[in-house]
Structure 1
């Protein structure tokens, strides 16, 4: 049911875009984290990222929706954690950077590579003239826990990250950069349990986040997988299950 409600809300958003009704004006920013590596994940009962493009594929699906609603020339930027895909390339024997660049070309995107959370904050605040072009949307596709976005989860360190955006850094983001009715969502796991509240306190905007885990799919946007999981903008705790 929660999954259907989210799909419905995104459909309503698309209709609102086409109707020009309450549509946030400005730049849409898609933040894409990197995949884990086999060397850290292969012996786990539930290893992450069998497919290198988990997050890229989801971001592409969302971008397709945005292009349909916003039009071919609306400013959409992908911020992508480049090192994660450079590190994954030997495992795949493919030019992953080149493949990501084909998505840029297909959807007329502004592709920006980043290294860490400071780079993300700097782009949000000053990547464009925020007096004339506000942030209309900000969405994250990648690994996360309740307190941070983890850009290199299980890439450099097993089950942890050296590159991240932590909730304690969010106060560096200026709330004035966001457009009225800006749409903000984290598609990663657990964000709604704590980080969404920190985001609101820091920026004055609401970020939709997951209560529980999410799963990235091939042909649809990420879905909730934890019993009792739902999309929230204020912190909650998962109900206890027997």
Structure 2
């Protein structure tokens, strides 16, 4: 009887490990603004092209440590933003981002429109087998949307986004029970987090107020009275 109990326990552990390995952790990385738009502002955005990439890299390093080498981690990166910023930097930013893929054994998916993010969430993997166990966003945002190309193509505006009113396009069955979801951008917790929950059934942690992206730590809250909510 004792041997049978131990065998059942072992099977449960193995099954749990298999489920974890089959899940997918998704990190979405928006693009940086351009100097041609930001240079006239009192507080310009994105002095450093890698604001969002660096933060996502730091978080990915944490995830690899916590979840192990077999966890599927996928980066969805807004490509046009880094192609455009590369001209300003005189560097091949696409190649530099690819080095992160190599170092952390990631799946790297480039996108150029919000519709492609929806499509990947719903169809990037067979979601009846590979559930989304985590979703995190690093990039520009306001209270109602992720702005993938803020101040890139248009000054202080964007043409590529994921808006809270479109969230019903996400199949709520995509997510594993208890999936961890977080936006590291500004203001998400003021509205979008609530609509995310209604659409997907998962709680998204978001900021009340502004966040600031750092070089050696994850983004921090900088507004008076700012806090993380879900």
Tell me which structure has the larger Cα radius of gyration.
Answer: 2
Separation in 2, partners of 1:145, 1:97: 26
Separation in 1, partners of 2:159, 2:78: 12
Post-superposition shift, 1:219?
Answer: 0.4
Unmatched 5+ stretches in structure 2: 1-16
Name 1:59's counterpart in structure 2: 56
Q: Secondary structure at the match of 2:149?
A: coil
Instruction: For 1:1-242, list aligned pairs within 5 A.
Output: 26-233=23-230
Separation in 1, partners of 2:166, 2:22: 26
Separation in 1, partners of 2:125, 2:178: 19
Name 1:14's counterpart in structure 2: none
Contact 1:25 / 1:136 at 8 angstroms: preserved in 2? no
Separation in 1, partners of 2:179, 2:112: 25
Separation in 1, partners of 2:23, 2:194: 24
Deviation string for 1:158-208 (max 9, x for gaps)?
A: 111000001111000011110111000000000000000110111111100
- The normalised TM-score by structure 2 is 0.91
Q: Alignment length, in residue pairs?
A: 214
Contact 1:24 / 1:136 at 8 angstroms: preserved in 2? no
- The normalised TM-score by structure 1 is 0.86
Deviation string for 1:49-87 (max 9, x for gaps)?
A: 000000000000000000001111210000000000000
Separation in 2, partners of 1:99, 1:72: 22
Contact 1:150 / 1:161 at 8 angstroms: preserved in 2? yes
Separation in 2, partners of 1:62, 1:175: 25
Post-superposition shift, 1:89?
Answer: 0.5
Post-superposition shift, 1:24?
Answer: 9.7
Post-superposition shift, 1:116?
Answer: 1.0
Instruction: Provide the aligned C-alpha RMSD in A.
Output: 1.6
Contact 2:77 / 2:111 at 8 angstroms: preserved in 1? yes
Separation in 2, partners of 1:25, 1:169: 27
Separation in 2, partners of 1:204, 1:103: 31
